[in-house]
Amino acid sequence: MMNEDSKKRLKAIAEAVAKLMKEQDEQKARETAEAEDDDMDLAADMLMEAANLIEDAADLLVQVSFLLRDKDIEADSCFPCCVVEVYCDDEL
């Protein structure tokens, strides 16, 4: 049989364990939210880089189309050392 002191001690231990488990759950929730934020930042960075690459590709396509139409274009000073060679076949 348990006496009153043993019951009080067990109750205090159970409360301490419950408090500790609650704190651990809160910590896990904070870490999960931070990880989701990091994932969203990474995805946003990747999308921005893809958009920049698509914009560069579009600029190059415009330049190539001007070259194919024998129009003068201004060289893009931001794009590193790009040389485009166009070969025309008169038989086409």
**pLDDT tens-place string over residues 42-71:** 888 889 999 999 999 998 888 888 888 876
Average pLDDT over residues 6-32: 88
Task: Quote the number of domains for the chain.
Answer: 1
Identify the pLDDT of residue 2: 66
Identify the pLDDT of residue 53: 92
For residue 73, is pLDDT > 70?
Answer: no
In whole angstroms, what separates CA 69 from the centre of its chain? Answer: 40
Q: What range does the domain containing 72 cover?
A: 1-92
Indicate the average pLDDT of the chain. 79
Please provide the DSSP assignment of 34-84 as one string: HHHHHHHHHHHHHHHHHHHHHHHHHHHHHHHHHHHTT------TTS-S---
